[in-house]
Amino acid sequence: MMEKLLSFIYSLDDSYLMFPAFEKAFNKMIENLETFRKTGVSQHLLITGESGSGKTTLANLFVQNYPRISHPDGEIVPVLYAAVPPAATIAGTAEAILTQLGDPAPSQGTVSVKTARAVDLARSCRVEMLIIDEAQHIQDRGKNQTQYFVGDWLKAFMDALKTPVTMMGLPRAHHLLHVNEQLRRRFTRTLKLAAGSGKNEANEAESLELFTSLVKSLPVKLERDPYTWGEMGLRLHFATGSRIAYVKLLLIGAVENLIQMGDSALRVTHLEHGFITHIWSDGMKELNPFHSAFAFRALDHVGEPFHRQDVEINLSSRKRKKI
């Protein structure tokens, strides 16, 4: 039993779960690539999700689905994945793409030389989809003015490449489409990668579903007492932000506690401990979603696990303007 539980914890790390939003995004990417193969028409997609919602995992799974093929004339790369570097200069972004295409000296040349080389290489590698991860870095304008132009560059690069593009990033990557009309026109389709996207009730039900689908492979039962399933869904939503990464962490923490206690079923008290050990060490009493005194509010204040930094940045910049 103990061994089964431990092997469950280990297996959790590299198992994929096709939760509905993840599957929808995956299928849409397949559809875009297959449409391009059949018709040559490029449809672009923006996928947003909070940190830990599974964007990079989705990209990896998609790349695995269309693996690279070694060919006497060079490597065929059906899906090209590149992450926009944090500083988001055009040169850095072009370099990230060149590196993925196997360019021997990605940092060499001027920006336009690198761009032309990336387009040529992508064509000779027969790229059929470009995935741009960490797209919010394009938007995160710092003091460096060049970051502002990465969006324009990307638009020009997409036009030269002519393949479908899937952009992925934090929810604030949406702003990129607000400020850049040319990108907005190209990314008419957007999807959110959250267990529940939108209304709270959906989040509760889907958080519960996400959690129970992972628990299903556990050799022990989940006891919801003293809460109802509906309440458990809500508590799970507050504990994980409906993000797959936190759902997994919570479950690992809870199962470890179950093992320590030598119990035979997964109970609320194990979840309460798991939340403290694996998600937030200060999450006690009214700040612990599984405690009877829980305040039933999103744990998104400063210093709390679901605090969104971009909100804070926006607020402070507004304050600065007032002064």
Nearer to ligand ATP, 9 or 111 (CB): 9
Neighbours of 142 (CB within 10 A): 12
The entry of ligand ATP, Mg ion, none near residue 289 (CB within 5 to 8 angstroms by kind) is none
Is there a cis peptide before residue 171, judged by omega within 30 degrees of 0?
no
Nearer to Mg ion, 55 or 248 (CB): 55
Does the protein bind Mg ion through residue 269 (CB under 5 A)?
A: no
Candidates 12-20, 54-62, 116-124, 230-238; binding stretch for Mg ion (CB under 5 A):
54-62
Nearer to ligand ATP, 30 or 76 (CB): 30
Q: Where along the sequence are the contacts to ligand ATP (CB under 6 A)?
A: 15-17, 22, 49, 51-57, 170, 244-245, 248
User: Minimum CB separation from ligand ATP for residue 27, in Å?
Assistant: 13
Interatomic CA distance for residues 131 and 242, integer angstroms: 24
List of residues 6+ apart from 178 with CB closer than 8 A: 184
The entry of ligand ATP, Mg ion, none near residue 49 (CB within 5 to 8 angstroms by kind) is ligand ATP
Nearest to 180 by CA among 164, 162, 156, 161: 156
Nearer to ligand ATP, 54 or 253 (CB): 54
The entry of Mg ion, ligand ATP, none near residue 53 (CB within 5 to 8 angstroms by kind) is ligand ATP
Candidates 53-61, 139-147, 159-167, 221-229; binding stretch for Mg ion (CB under 5 A):
53-61
Please compute, for residue 167, the number of CA atoms within 13 A of its CA located in the half-sphere on the CB side.
Answer: 29
Nearest to 114 by CA among 130, 127, 96, 131: 96
Nearer to ligand ATP, 150 or 250 (CB): 250
Nearer to ligand ATP, 155 or 248 (CB): 248
Candidates 55-63, 113-121, 171-179, 212-220; binding stretch for Mg ion (CB under 5 A):
55-63
Window 174-203: residues binding Mg ion (CB under 5 A)? none
The entry of ligand ATP, Mg ion, none near residue 111 (CB within 5 to 8 angstroms by kind) is none
Choice from 56, 89, 212, 269 touching Mg ion (CB under 5 A): 56
User: Minimum CB separation from Mg ion for residue 186, in Å?
Assistant: 22
128 sits in the region (left: phi over 0; alpha: psi -120 to 50; else beta) called: alpha
Interatomic CA distance for residues 247 and 67, integer angstroms: 29
Nearer to Mg ion, 55 or 267 (CB): 55
Helix %, strand %, coil % for the chain, to 5?
Answer: 55, 10, 35
Q: Which residue is nearest to ligand ATP (CB)?
A: 54
Contact between 129 and 78 (Cβ < 8 Å): yes
Consecutive H or E run containing 81: strand 79-83
Contact between 274 and 281 (Cβ < 8 Å): no
User: Minimum CB separation from ligand ATP for residue 136, in Å?
Assistant: 8
Which SS3 state, helix, strand or coil, does residue 279 take?
A: coil
The residues binding Mg ion (CB under 5 A) are: 55-56
